[in-house]
Structure formats: C-alpha cells, structure tokens
C-alpha cells in the first residue's frame, strides 16, 4: 500500500449555481492511477491518492460538464498510459496533453496523437524542479509541431521576463497555465502581470484562468482577489482563454470544492456569450472533440 503524501479531492462537490452549456469543457485536469494498474513514477515529488477516470466522470456529471483535457501529471512522469486509458474511455469527449522526452519515437508520438493528445507540457516553476534543459525543450517542440501540437508552459509570473526570447521563438501556439501563478497581492498593475497581458497580444499565446485556489491570498473561497486578473486576461484575448478545475488538485494549501471553482466563471465572465466561448468554443479550437 503506497503512502499518500497529498490529500484526496472532495468526494461530493456542490453542483454549480448555473447550467454549463452543452459541450462545456474542463480544460485542465489530471488522472492519477489507479496505481495498481498505472504505477507512479519512481522519481516523483509527491504520491497522490488514486483519482482515476471513474471518479473524474462522476465529477463531470456532478458539474454538468461533458468534455475535458487531461494534462499529464509529473507523478506519472513520461508514462502516459493512465491518461491514454482515460482518453480511450472518453470516446472523443476528451483530449490530452502528454509528457514526452527524447526517448519517444515518431511512431509513439503518432500513437498518442491518434488517441487525442494535442500538446505536450513543460514545467518552469522552481519549487517543482525548475526549467527543463533548453536543448531538450527545443528538440521536443520541433518534433511535436509536425503533428500540429501546442506547448503547455507552467511558469511563475516573475520569471516571464527571462523567457521572453524563448516565447518569441515559439513556432506554434502555447498555453500558459494558471494565469502564470501571478501573486494577487501585488495588484494588476504589477510588471509580471502586465507582461502576461502583453503576451496575450500575440495570437500564439493562450492562458488558463485556472488555479484560483492556488493564487488567492486568503486560502478558502470565495477567491474574490483572483477575479480582476481573470477579467483582465479575458478582456485582452477572449478567444484565447481556457478554464479548468485542476482536479484532483495536487499540492494545494486547501482542497477546493469544484462547484466553487465553476461558479467563479459567473464573476470571471458575467456575460453568458463570453462564458460559453471560454467553456466551449475556445477548447474546440485547440482540440478535436468528436
């Protein structure tokens, strides 16, 4: 029996206070295990509880969502099989973002593409291991763009300036996770957030207005201090914003209720047409849901 180092998600989140539109998508979530079938990586920073596709689909029904994008988590390393199993179970309702390395053949990348993977992810956050080797980074980017994939980037906002040249060189669309983990106590006029808004002027740049439970200075909901940041990003490029739960919430200060996270969309995007664009139309642009 593995000793879990992070807590499990809330078993029964409350339903949202609005009805999500048909085709609404959770564009940033994970599947963990079950470890007996999909073992965790030997070298991992945390050991999560089993949070597989069966639990996730119960969550989807509870929230009234029908699509999802599974992002490969570091606890599984480059073994993407738990995610692949979830994609196959979805029958076209789900897409994926894999983690790959130089050991993957073109044939293996093609197999990931065939089951619905449309991107790969790199972490640049220092406390999670820091930036990848940049020679490796560019080799992987070069290989996956041949499949039409995009790149998902996990940054701390304060580090954006040092990667300005890297982002300028990107040959394909890229997504910045969790609003670049911007420190909300510093205000929307802070230089790192203004740089993020400047990046949104580039048609290659997308952002996820996810991770409110990580960004808030208060800890528990209502996460009001995150709202101005999400609204500013939506105003900058409403057609390149995605939303996600980050279920099952690895390494958070407090375990959020996904119903609260979805209800935040009413504050992030009070206009129903904009809200539907973020939940439905924008993910459809990047992912081949059938």
Instruction: Report pTM.
Output: 0.96
Instruction: Say how far apart CA 130 and CA 272 lie, in whole Å.
Output: 38
Predicted pLDDT at 1: 62
User: 122 pairs with which residues across the strands?
Assistant: 153
Show pLDDT as tens, one digit a residue, over the chain (290 residues). Answer: 688 999 999 999 999 999 999 999 999 999 999 999 999 999 898 999 999 999 999 999 999 999 999 999 889 999 999 999 999 999 999 999 999 999 999 999 999 999 999 999 999 987 677 789 999 999 999 999 999 999 999 999 999 999 999 999 999 999 999 999 999 999 999 999 999 999 999 999 999 999 999 999 988 899 999 999 999 999 999 999 999 999 999 989 899 999 999 999 999 999 999 999 999 999 999 998 97
Query: Around Cβ 135, how many Cβ atoms within 10 Å?
Result: 9
Predicted pLDDT at 126: 77
Predicted pLDDT at 45: 86
Grouping H, G, I as helix, E, B as strand and the rest as coil, residue 212 is helix
Domain boundaries, the chain: 25-286
The contacts of residue 150 (CB under 8 Å, 6+ apart) are: 118, 119, 172, 173, 174, 175, 206, 286
The contacts of residue 152 (CB under 8 Å, 6+ apart) are: 71, 97, 119, 120, 121, 122, 174, 175, 177
Fold assignment, 25-286: TIM Barrel (3.20.20)
Predicted pLDDT at 218: 87
Predicted pLDDT at 130: 77
Predicted pLDDT at 59: 98
Catalytic site positions: 246
What pLDDT digit, counting tens, does each position of 47-93 carry? 999 999 999 999 999 999 999 999 998 899 999 999 999 999 999 99
CA 237 to chain centre: 18
């Amino acid at each position: 029996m593995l000793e879990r180092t992070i807590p499990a998600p809330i078993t029964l989140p409350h339903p949202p206070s609005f009805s999500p539109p048909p085709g609404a998508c959770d564009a940033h979530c994970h599947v963990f295990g079950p470890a007996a079938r999909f073992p965790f990586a030997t070298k991992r920073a945390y050991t999560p509880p089993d949070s597989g596709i069966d639990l996730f689909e119960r969550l989807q029904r509870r929230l009234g969502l029908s699509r999802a994008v599974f992002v490969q988590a570091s606890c599984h390393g480059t073994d993407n099989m738990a995610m692949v199993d979830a994609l196959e179970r979805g029958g076209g309702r789900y897409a994926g973002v894999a983690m790959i390395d130089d050991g993957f053949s073109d044939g293996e990348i093609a197999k990931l593409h065939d089951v619905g993977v449309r991107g790969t992810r790199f972490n640049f956050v220092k406390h999670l291991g820091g930036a990848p080797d940049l020679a490796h980074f560019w080799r992987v980017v070069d290989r996956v763009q041949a499949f039409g994939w995009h790149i998902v980037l996990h940054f701390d906002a304060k580090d954006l300036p040092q990667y300005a040249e890297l982002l300028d060189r990107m040959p394909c669309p890229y997504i910045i996770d969790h609003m670049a983990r911007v420190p909300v106590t510093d205000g929307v006029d802070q230089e790192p957030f203004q740089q993020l808004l400047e990046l949104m002027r580039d048609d290659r740049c997308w952002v996820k207005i996810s991770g409110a439970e990580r960004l808030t200075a208060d800890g528990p909901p209502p996460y009001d201090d995150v709202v101005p940041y999400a609204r500013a990003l939506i105003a900058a490029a409403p057609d390149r914003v995605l939303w996600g739960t980050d279920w099952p919430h690895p390494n958070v200060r407090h375990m959020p209720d996904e119903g609260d996270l979805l209800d935040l969309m009413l504050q992030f995007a009070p206009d129903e047409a904009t809200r539907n664009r973020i939940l439905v139309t924008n993910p459809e642009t990047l992912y081949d849901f059938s």
